[in-house]
């Protein structure tokens, strides 16, 4: 009996003795987690240092503090989803707000906005290219017939409310969109007889309201039509390159290794974006509470694969595609920044790969 117990103990301990980190045959599959770049080669003074160059330099990458939350394998790359409206230029609206969504990077949209104004004979009075902000000159309009679009739009909007006083100008901001290589154009109309103009150095146009909303709406329409006609032109502004650095959505991992999605939006738009993205992706929202920022959803595996249920699945609903009951939370983190996280509705631990898939799905279908 003692020999049998001793044999079992030897066999059990032998596993770690054979394949453990200090064993005879250690498993090297996770050695990459401890890999560190070695110091550069030091060339003594007096020798030609130009002869020694690194042909494949390693880019600077931040250390992954939570890499060990993926035991046995590295995280899988994010899924790429193709949405129906990815290449569409459209006006988005939320409550009383409107903006133009475009499938181009801000550095490409910015010069087209300036070209639109130049072709319509409207000068730019102030410009902050790093923020995607510009203001047109003040325009004094009468009842005469104008040949350019900008003055025609403002004149018609003034006529609708019988406005005959004041000067008008258009304020524009080009922003990074919700996805990479997308942009948003926000427009505000001001008339100095209807209100005191906002500060000249204002960057964020969200708190501002157009004096004549119809002028804002029609200007967005005209800008969208103009950029759509110039879609083949690949003009890029180097001075506007900083606009793309302010991402509105970003996938990260917290200190516990849980994936989270950052939304740099005000709460009204962040909540609407979350709901719209789930709807666009075909995710069933069973319950939603905007006050607490919680949504209960049912997600089928077919949503991730893009496959449609077959005839037998519809005929016999049992044993079909696997479904996940999840809770999605959106919580504030600083001013106009919200964190979206995913957890299982039941008490069991949430699968991090599944959470990552859901958050990528939300980001890709956001509009």
* Bridging pattern class, strands 183-191 and 168-176: antiparallel
Fold of 248-365: TATA-Binding Protein (3.30.310)
Return d(Cα 157, Cα 144) in angstroms, integer: 14
Closest CA to 187 of 91, 266, 112: 91
CATH code of the region 90-243: 3.30.310.170
pLDDT in tens, the chain (367 residues): 556 655 555 555 555 555 566 666 677 766 766 777 777 777 788 777 666 666 666 665 555 545 555 555 555 555 555 555 556 889 999 988 999 999 988 989 999 999 999 999 999 999 999 899 999 999 999 888 888 999 999 999 999 999 999 999 999 999 999 888 899 999 999 999 999 999 999 999 999 999 999 999 999 999 999 998 877 666 766 666 677 677 889 888 888 888 999 999 999 999 999 999 999 888 999 999 999 999 999 998 888 776 555 544 444 444 456 888 999 999 999 888 999 999 998 766 778 888 988 999 999 888 7
DSSP conformation letters of 249-307: EEEEE-TTS-EEEEE-S-HHHHHHHHHHHHHHHT-EEEEEETTTTEEEEEEEHHHHHTP
Report yes or no: 154 and 141 within 8 Å, Cβ to Cβ. yes
Which pLDDT value is given to residue 293? 94
Q: Is 204 helix (H, G, I), strand (E, B) or coil?
A: coil
Closest CA to 303 of 280, 318, 283: 283
Domain ranges of the chain: 90-243, 248-365
For the purposes of burial, counting CB atoms within 10 Å of the CB of 11, is it exposed (0-12), middle (13-18) or buried (19 or more)?
exposed
Domain 90-243 shares a fold with domain 248-365: yes
Q: Classify the C-alpha dihedral 62-66-72-76 as positive or negative.
A: negative
Which pLDDT value is given to residue 316? 47
Report yes or no: 243 and 106 within 8 Å, Cβ to Cβ. yes
């Amino acid at each position: 009996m003692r020999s049998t117990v001793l044999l079992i103990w030897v066999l059990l301990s032998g596993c770690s003795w054979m394949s453990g980190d200090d064993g005879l045959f250690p498993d090297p599959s996770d050695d990459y987690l401890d890999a560190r770049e070695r110091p550069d080669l030091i060339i003594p003074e007096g020798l030609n240092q130009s002869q020694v160059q690194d042909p494949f330099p390693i880019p600077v990458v931040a250390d992954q503090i939570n890499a060990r939350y993926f035991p046995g394998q590295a995280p899988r790359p994010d899924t790429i989803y193709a949405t129906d409206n990815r290449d569409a230029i459209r006006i988005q609206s939320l409550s009383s707000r409107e903006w133009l969504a475009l499938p181009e990077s801000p550095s490409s949209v910015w010069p087209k906005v300036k070209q639109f104004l130049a072709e319509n004979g409207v000068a730019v009075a102030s410009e902050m290219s790093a923020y995607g902000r510009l203001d047109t000159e003040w325009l004094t309009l009468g009842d005469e017939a104008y040949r350019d679009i900008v003055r025609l739009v403002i004149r018609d909007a003034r006529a609708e409310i019988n406005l005959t006083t004041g000067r008008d100008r258009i304020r524009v901001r080009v922003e990074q969109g919700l996805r990479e290589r997308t942009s948003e154009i926000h427009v505000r109309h001001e008339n100095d007889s209807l209100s005191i103009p906002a500060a000249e150095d204002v960057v964020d146009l969200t708190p501002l309201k157009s004096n004549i909303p119809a002028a804002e709406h029609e200007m967005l329409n005209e800008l969208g039509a103009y950029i759509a006609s110039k879609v083949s032109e690949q003009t890029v502004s180097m001075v506007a390159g900083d606009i793309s650095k302010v991402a509105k959505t970003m996938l990260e991992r917290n200190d516990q290794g849980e994936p989270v999605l950052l939304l740099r939006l005000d709460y009204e738009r962040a909540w609407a974006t979350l709901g719209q993205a789930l709807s666009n992706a075909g995710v069933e929202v069973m319950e939603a509470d905007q006050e607490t920022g919680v949504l209960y959803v049912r997600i089928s595996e077919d949503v991730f694969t893009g496959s449609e249920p077959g005839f037998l699945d519809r005929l016999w609903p049992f044993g079909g595609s696997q479904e996940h009951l999840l809770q999605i939370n959106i919580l504030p983190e600083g001013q106009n920044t919200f964190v979206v996280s995913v957890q299982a509705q039941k008490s069991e631990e949430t699968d991090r790969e599944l959470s990552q898939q859901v958050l990528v799905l939300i980001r890709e279908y956001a509009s």
